[in-house]
Structure 1
Amino acid sequence: MTGSMSGRTILLAGGTSMAGRAAAQTLLDAGAHVVVAGHDPEKTDVLAGSLAGMVAEVCDLTNEAGVAALAERVHDRLGPVDGILHLVGGWRGGGGLAGQTDDDFRFLESSLTALRLVSREFDADVRASTAGREAIVSSTAVARPLAGGANYAAVKAASEAWMRAVAQGFAKAARDAGEPLRAASVIFRVKALAGLEETLADTYLGLFSQDAAAVNDTVIDLST
């Protein structure tokens, strides 16, 4: 378990949304260093201007070299990160299976690409932290996919599989080193994120006060 968030660095990947703002404020209030990375400089600047102490980083999180450069800048300024909340997302769908276009799938797939690149680049950081916590926002559609949201549900299911692999990696690394598990990978599911931004922020923060073994490789439904 861990106590204060003071001195801990948290990366909000794609965190310029309302959910990112809520998470950034909650984490800053708890004493953490917060880095918000997004591809739109206007949005990152607006968020940085309204949240004192937040670090804004402009980065294409679907670009491998860009993510590597982001990690270098964060390390130079704040050192290794202790946690990541992945917020790159969006929705496109409707029209049954016939309405599931390749363009829509590629748009949605960008969130999975960002997840893969960011989690790989910062994996060593999170594993080395005394309380590493990594989480994604998934969807209840994974458990009950509909034809009109097949693209969306498929990408979310793949993202959940990736995070479960991250969880296994954390557990294996701790086991191989003969050390207690200190890092956890968690999946949050929502039916719709609107209206749950504060709940998401509080629940993510709460992961740091729980034992890693109790939350690693778990699915938490925020809609209930």
Structure 2
Amino acid sequence: MLIAGATSASGLAAARVLASAGAQVVAVGRDAGRLGELAAAVPGVRTEVCDLTDEHDVTALAERVHAAEGPVDGVLHLVGGWRGGGGLAGQSDDDYRFLERSFTALRHVSRTFDADLRGSEAARLAVVSSTAVARPLAGGANYAAVKAATEAWTRAVAQGFTKGARDAGAPLAAASVIFRVKSLDGLEEALAQRFADLWASRAAEVNDTIVELTDPAL
């Protein structure tokens, strides 16, 4: 089980939930210090420092993970960030390039571990998107555009899973899912649990679906 972009509150929550469920968790991030804090908080979690926007770095990551843990059967993509404001005129190229890193990381990770997920008896890939995709605002146009691209890529992964199973004459075993949130603040545990719960449903029931996450207190 690989958590991409694990050095956030959501990454910590996911590591705790997945490890408590018995999963072998690999937490990946760029900050070795914050990964060390996660490892101390959740014993048994393997940490890996990797620049997920670097294709060669991700290839090397996969080689290390395969050697230590074997094939990956789950990916939770948490690489993200926010920059915005200033209306359409305020949507700078610098801000766009910053936000685009999350999409680049998803492309690298999903391609690199695609064979693992396809070959698993029960694999799940999930990304965190935003309600801004359905209602983009001028001041968040860069952000909404990147999230829309993220959703399109994730749905393409889902179609690839379906086609692969159909061509092999086998039941669908892998699923690709989009979680949409307005904000992750306060939803870290809910996100982690909903990701873990994906294995309780058949792949055909959850593949190529969009799950809206809202504050359970509301």
Residue 106 (structure 1) aligns with = 97
> Residues 150-161 of structure 1: matches in 2 within 5 Å?
150-161=141-152
1:187 aligns with 2:175: no
Q: 1:72 is matched with which residue: 60, 63, 75?
A: 63
Superposition TM-score, scaled by structure 2 size? 0.98
User: Distance between the aligned counterparts of 2:19 and 2:110, measured in 1?
Assistant: 22
Residue 123 (structure 1) aligns with = 114
Q: Can you list the C-alpha shifts for 1:130-187, whole angstroms capped at 9, x where unaligned?
A: 1100000000000000000000000000000000000000000000000000000000
Paired positions, count: 215
Residue 51 (structure 1) aligns with = 42
Q: 1:173 is matched with which residue: 160, 164, 171?
A: 164
- Unaligned 5+ segments in structure 1 are 1-9
- Unaligned 5+ segments in structure 2 are none
Superposition TM-score, scaled by structure 1 size? 0.95
Q: Can you list the C-alpha shifts for 1:30-77, whole angstroms capped at 9, x where unaligned?
A: 000000000111111111122100000000000000000000000000
Q: 2:131 is matched with which residue: 119, 125, 140?
A: 140
Residue 13 (structure 1) aligns with = 4
Residue 4 (structure 1) aligns with = none
Note the C-alpha offset of 1:190.
Answer: 0.1
Q: Equivalent residue of 1:36, what SS?
A: strand
Residue 91 (structure 1) aligns with = 82
> What root-mean-square deviation, in Å, do the aligned CA atoms of Structure 1 and Structure 2 show?
0.6
The one-letter code sitting in structure 2 at the alignment partner of 1:99 is G
